C-alpha cells in the first residue's frame, strides 16, 4: 500500500471520479448509519433525558389540578339584513362572519367587560387572594385578569353550521358556568349596541352630507333657471329660443333679398343697354304691355299716313291730322320709355338696399347666436352639475332609509342555544396521555441534544471521520488494552507493558498484526525499513504502539531495532524495564559505540532496544545532525526494520526532522481525544516537509462502542485465533518474502501469523 497523497492536492485534481452505481442510495444509507451510530454513542444521555421526561409525565399526571369546564352554544345567523344590505355580498359576509365573531368573543374589550360585571379581579376562586382590593382599571390588574380569561376561555365553531361553542375552565364549577353565561350576555349586548352605534354614526354622517348636498342642488337649480331666463329658453329645451327663430327667418330673408337684387340688377342692365326703339322687343319680363300698344298705334298711324299721302297727296287735312297723331304717339312713346328705365333703376336700387340691410341684420343675429352658443355651453354644465348633485342626493337619501331598516334587523342575528351549567365532575387529562406525551417530547429533546453535542464534538472517533478529515488511509484500529490485575506480580515488566507478548491471541495482538501487514505492504518495491511513529499532541499512545509494533515485527523472525527518539520525555526504557542512562544521545555524542548502547529484551530475542539516553540541551539539532543520519544508515545494514518513537508534531519539530530519513511515517490518533484541527495541522506539517506519510492508526478504541461494533469481523474472530489456526503467514526463504499457504501443522508462532 503506497502513501496516499493529501486530500485536496493538485495531483488529484484532474483524476476523473469513477462512476458510482446507486450513489444516492449509498449516501442515504451512510447518513442513516451515521445517525444510528450517534444515537448509540449517546444512548446514555438520551435514555437519561427520556427517563426524566417519563418521571415528569408521571408526576404531572398525578398532580394535575382539578379543573371544571362549562360550555354553552350560540347561533350567529347570517341575518335578515343581508337581504337588504346595500353594496355588499351576502356570500362574502357569511364566509368571514363566524371567524370574525369568534375573534370578537375573545377580544380584550369584551373580556374586560365580563371581568367588570363579575368582579373577577377580587374573586378568590378566579384570582389568588390578596390583602387589598384590586382595581380593574389598574393596567397591571387589567392585564392579569384579561390574560387569565384569554387562557381559560375557549371559542370554537361547529363545522358546517352557524353555531359557536364557548367553554371556560376554572377551579370552580359554578364560576366556569357564570363566566360563559356572562360572556354570552355581554356579547349580545355589545353586538347590538355596536351595530346601533355604527348605524347612528352612518345616519349622522349621511344627514350632514345630505344637508350640504341639498344646498348644492338648490343652488345649482337656481343658477340653471336664471340662465334659462337670460337665454330666453322656453321650457327646458335650450334650442327653443327667440334668437334661433329670428336667425332662421333672417337667413331665409337674406336669400330672398339677394335673389330680388340680382333680378332687378339684371333687368336694369338689360334695358339701359338697349335702343329705346326696340324696347318692345325685350319681352314682357322687362317692358310693360303699354309700350307695345303705343308702338302698334304708331305703326298703324304711319301706315294710314302713307295711304292718305298716296290717295290725297300732301297737305291734305286728313293727312295732317294723322301726322299730328303720329307726333303725339312718338311723344307718349318717349315718355313711356324714359319712365320704364327710371322705374327699373329704382327697383334695382331698392333691391340692393334691401339686401344690404338684410345682411347687416343677419350678421347681428349671428353675433348674438355665437354668444348664445357660449351661454348654452354654460347652461349644459350647470344642468349636468344639477343632475349629478340631485342623483347623489337621492342615492344618499335612499341609503339613509336603508340604514334605518338594517338597524332594526341586526338585533336578531345572535341567538343563545345552550346555557352553560355547572359541571358535576372535573375535567382531567388521561394520565397515560400525559405520560406518553412528556416521554416522547423528552425523547425528541434527547435526540436533538445528542446530535448537537455530536456536531460540537471535535474529537475523532470513527475511521470514516479520520479519513475524511486527514485525507489519509487508516492502517489499523488498536483496541483499548485491558491489563489483568492478577498477573501484575507474576509477569515481567516487558510482559506487563507488551500486550502482544502477554496475550498473543487477543484482539489487541491481532490489531497490531493487521498494522504490521498494512505497513509491510505500504511501500512499493519492498518493505519499509525505517518506520517513524508520531502524533499531533501528547498522550495519544505513540510509545505503546511503537513497542508493540516492534514486538510483532520481531515475531517474524527478523531483527528489529526500536529507537526511543523522544529525547525530551523518553519512556521506552520504562516500558521494557531497561536502564536509560546510556542510549541514543550517548551514541550521537560518541561517548559509547552502537553495540555498547544496544540493549536486548529476554522475552523477544529478535528485538533490540536503543533507549534515548541522557536528555540533551538541543534535541532537535542532535536528531537532525549528520551523525544521526549515518547512524540510521548503519542500522539499516544490520536490522530488517527500525521503529522510531518520536515526540508530538505540534509540540516540537523533532518528528519533522526525523521524517526525512524515514521510509514510512505513521500518525497515531487516540480515540475520542485527538481533535480535527490538531490532526489537520499535523498532517500539513508532514506534507510540507515531504515526509512519506503512510497512514493513520486509531488507538485506544473501544470495540464495543457503536462506531466499531463488529468492525473488521471481530465477531467470532477471537475464537478463531484462540484455536491457534492461521490461514496464511509470512515465510522467509533465501532472502525473498512471499505469501505461501500454511496449514495448522505448519503453524509457527515465531515465524508467521494470520493477518
Q: Tell me, what's the pLDDT at 230?
A: 67
The DSSP code for 752 is -
* Among 180, 145, 157, residue whose Cα is nearest residue 70: 180
Which residues make Cβ contacts (< 8 Å) with residue 309, sequence separation at least 6?
Answer: 316, 319
Contact 280, 291 (CB under 8 A): yes
Q: Tell me, what's the pLDDT at 351?
A: 78
Residues, the chain: 755
Q: Tell me, what's the pLDDT at 606?
A: 92
Q: Tell me, what's the pLDDT at 285?
A: 47
What's the pTM? Answer: 0.46
pLDDT 10s digits, 368-404: 776 766 666 667 777 777 777 778 777 777 776 666 6
Residue with more model confidence, 130 or 73: 73
> Residue 709 above 70 pLDDT?
no
Residue with more model confidence, 352 or 383: 352
Mean pLDDT along residues 493-501: 83
Which of 11-15, 495-499, 507-511 is least confident?
11-15
- At 715, the pLDDT band (50, 70, 90 cuts) reads very low
> Residue 689 above 80 pLDDT?
yes
Q: Tell me, what's the pLDDT at 748?
A: 34
Contact 152, 168 (CB under 8 A): yes
Q: What is the chain's mean pLDDT, rounded?
A: 75
Q: Tell me, what's the pLDDT at 406?
A: 57
Find how far residue 645's CA is from the centre of its chain.
58
- ∠ CA 372-377-378 to the nearest 5 degrees? 95
C-alpha 130/C-alpha 132 separation (Å) is 6
Q: Which three cell numbers stand for residue 702?
A: 473501544
Contact 173, 67 (CB under 8 A): no
Q: Which three cell numbers stand for residue 116?
A: 367588570
* Among 254, 283, 259, residue whose Cα is nearest residue 271: 283
Residue with more model confidence, 692 or 218: 692
Mean pLDDT along residues 698-726: 52
The DSSP code for 216 is H
The DSSP code for 747 is -
> Residue 654 above 60 pLDDT?
yes
- At 459, the pLDDT band (50, 70, 90 cuts) reads low
Got the DSSP string for 234-269?
-TT-TT-SHHHHHHHHHHHHHHHHHHHHHHHHHHHH
CATH number of 473-712: 3.40.50.300
Q: Tell me, what's the pLDDT at 18?
A: 39
Domain 68-205, what fold?
Bacterial polysaccharide co-polymerase-like (3.30.1890)
Most confidently modeled range among 88-97, 333-342, 568-577: 568-577
Mean pLDDT along residues 545-572: 92
- ∠ CA 696-702-705 to the nearest 5 degrees? 110
C-alpha 648/C-alpha 534 separation (Å) is 6
> Residue 236 above 70 pLDDT?
no
pLDDT 10s digits, 168-198: 988 888 888 999 999 898 888 888 787 777 7
Contact 107, 187 (CB under 8 A): no
Mean pLDDT along residues 649-674: 87
* Among 380, 83, 363, residue whose Cα is nearest residue 223: 380
The DSSP code for 753 is -
Find how far residue 593's CA is from the centre of its chain.
77
Q: What percent of the chain has pLDDT over 70?
A: 72
Mean pLDDT along residues 645-663: 89
- At 532, the pLDDT band (50, 70, 90 cuts) reads very high
Which residues make Cβ contacts (< 8 Å) with residue 383, sequence separation at least 6?
Answer: 224
- At 14, the pLDDT band (50, 70, 90 cuts) reads very low
Amino acid at each position: 500500500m503506497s502513501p496516499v497523497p493529501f486530500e485536496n492536492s493538485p495531483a488529484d485534481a484532474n483524476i476523473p471520479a469513477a462512476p458510482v452505481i446507486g450513489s444516492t442510495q449509498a449516501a442515504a444509507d451512510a447518513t442513516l448509519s451515521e445517525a444510528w451510530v450517534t444515537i448509540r454513542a449517546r444512548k446514555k444521555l438520551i435514555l437519561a433525558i427520556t427517563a426524566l421526561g417519563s418521571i415528569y409525565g408521571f408526576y404531572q399526571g398525578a398532580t394535575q389540578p382539578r379543573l371544571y369546564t362549562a360550555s354553552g352554544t350560540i347561533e350567529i345567523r347570517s341575518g335578515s339584513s343581508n337581504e337588504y344590505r346595500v353594496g355588499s355580498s351576502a356570500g362574502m359576509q357569511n364566509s368571514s362572519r363566524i371567524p370574525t365573531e369568534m375573534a370578537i368573543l375573545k377580544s380584550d374589550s369584551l373580556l374586560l367587560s365580563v371581568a367588570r360585571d363579575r368582579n373577577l379581579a377580587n374573586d378568590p376562586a378566579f384570582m389568588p387572594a390578596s390583602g387589598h382590593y384590586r382595581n380593574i382599571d389598574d393596567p397591571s390588574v387589567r392585564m392579569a385578569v384579561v390574560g387569565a380569561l384569554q387562557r381559560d376561555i375557549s371559542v370554537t365553531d361547529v363545522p358546517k353550521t352557524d353555531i359557536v361553542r364557548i367553554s371556560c375552565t376554572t377551579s370552580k364549577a359554578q364560576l366556569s358556568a357564570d363566566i360563559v353565561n356572562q360572556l354570552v350576555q355581554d356579547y349580545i349586548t355589545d353586538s347590538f349596541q355596536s351595530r346601533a352605534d355604527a348605524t347612528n354614526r352612518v345616519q349622522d354622517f349621511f344627514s350632514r352630507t345630505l344637508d350640504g348636498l341639498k344646498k348644492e342642488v338648490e343652488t345649482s337649480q337656481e343658477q340653471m333657471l336664471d340662465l334659462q331666463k337670460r337665454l330666453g329658453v322656453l321650457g327646458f329645451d335650450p334650442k327653443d329660443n327667440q334668437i334661433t327663430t329670428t336667425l332662421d327667418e333672417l337667413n331665409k330673408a337674406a336669400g330672398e333679398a339677394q335673389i330680388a337684387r340680382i333680378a332687378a340688377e339684371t333687368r336694369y342692365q338689360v334695358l339701359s343697354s338697349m335702343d329705346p326703339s326696340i324696347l318692345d322687343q325685350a319681352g314682357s319680363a322687362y317692358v310693360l304691355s303699354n309700350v307695345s300698344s303705343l308702338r302698334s298705334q304708331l305703326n298703324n298711324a304711319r301706315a294710314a299716313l302713307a295711304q292718305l299721302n298716296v290717295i290725297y297727296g300732301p297737305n291734305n287735312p286728313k293727312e295732317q291730322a294723322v301726322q299730328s297723331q303720329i307726333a303725339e304717339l312718338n311723344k307718349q312713346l318717349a315718355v313711356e320709355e324714359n319712365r320704364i328705365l327710371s322705374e327699373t333703376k329704382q327697383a334695382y336700387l331698392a333691391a340692393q338696399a334691401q339686401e344690404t340691410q338684410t345682411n347687416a341684420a343677419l350678421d347681428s343675429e349671428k353675433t348674438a347666436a355665437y354668444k348664445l352658443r357660449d351661454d348654452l355651453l354654460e347652461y349644459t354644465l350647470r344642468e349636468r352639475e344639477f343632475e349629478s348633485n340631485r342623483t347623489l342626493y337621492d342615492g344618499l337619501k335612499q341609503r339613509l332609509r336603508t340604514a334605518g331598516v338594517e338597524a332594526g334587523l341586526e338585533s336578531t342575528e345572535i341567538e343563545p342555544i345552550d346555557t352553560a351549567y355547572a359541571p358535576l365532575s372535573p375535567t382531567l387529562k388521561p394520565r397515560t396521555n400525559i405520560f406518553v406525551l412528556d416521554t416522547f417530547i423528552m425523547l425528541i429533546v434527547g435526540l436533538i441534544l445528542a446530535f448537537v453535542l455530536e456536531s460540537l464534538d471535535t474529537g475523532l472517533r470513527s475511521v470514516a471521520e479520520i479519513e475524511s478529515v486527514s485525507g489519509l488511509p487508516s492502517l489499523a484500529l488498536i483496541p483499548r488494552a485491558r491489563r489483568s490485575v492478577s498477573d501484575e506480580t507474576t509477569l515481567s515488566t516487558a510482559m506487563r507493558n507488551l500486550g502482544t507478548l502477554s496475550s498473543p491471541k487477543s484482539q489487541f495482538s491481532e490489531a497490531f498484526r493487521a498494522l504490521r501487514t498494512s505497513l509491510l505492504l505500504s511501500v512499493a518495491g519492498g518493505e519499509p525499513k525505517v518506520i517513524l511513529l508520531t502524533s499531533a499532541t501528547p498522550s495519544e499512545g505513540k510509545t505503546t504502539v511503537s513497542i508493540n509494533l516492534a514486538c510483532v515485527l520481531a515475531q517474524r523472525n527478523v531483527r528489529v531495532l526500536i529507537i526511543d527518539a523522544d529525547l525530551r520525555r523518553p519512556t521506552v526504557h520504562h516500558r521494557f524495564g531497561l536502564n536509560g542512562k546510556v542510549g541514543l544521545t550517548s551514541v550521537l555524542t560518541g561517548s559509547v559505540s552502537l553495540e555498547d548502547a544496544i540493549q536486548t529484551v529476554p522475552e523477544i530475542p529478535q528485538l533490540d532496544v536503543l533507549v534515548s539516553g541522557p536528555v540533551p540541551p538541543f534535541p532537535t539539532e542532535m536528531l537532525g545532525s549528520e551523525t544521526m543520519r549515518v547512524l540510521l544508515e548503519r542500522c539499516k545494514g544490520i536490522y530488517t526494520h527500525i521503529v522510531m518513537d518520536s515526540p508530538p508534531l505540534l509540540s516540537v519539530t523533532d518528528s519533522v526532522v526525523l521524517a526525512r530519513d524515514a521510509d514510512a511515517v505513521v500518525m497515531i490518533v487516540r480515540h475520542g481525544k485527538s481533535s480535527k484541527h490538531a490532526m489537520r495541522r499535523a498532517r500539513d506539517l508532514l506534507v510540507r516537509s515531504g515526509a512519506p506519510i503512510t497512514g493513520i492508526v486509531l488507538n485506544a478504541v473501544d470495540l464495543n462502542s457503536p462506531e466499531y461494533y463488529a468492525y473488521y469481523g471481530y465477531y467470532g474472530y477471537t475464537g478463531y485465533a484462540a484455536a491457534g489456526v492461521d490461514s496464511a503467514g509470512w515465510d522467509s526463504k533465501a532472502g525473498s518474502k512471499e505469501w505461501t499457504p500454511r496449514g495448522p501443522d505448519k503453524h509457527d508462532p515465531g515465524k508467521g501469523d494470520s493477518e
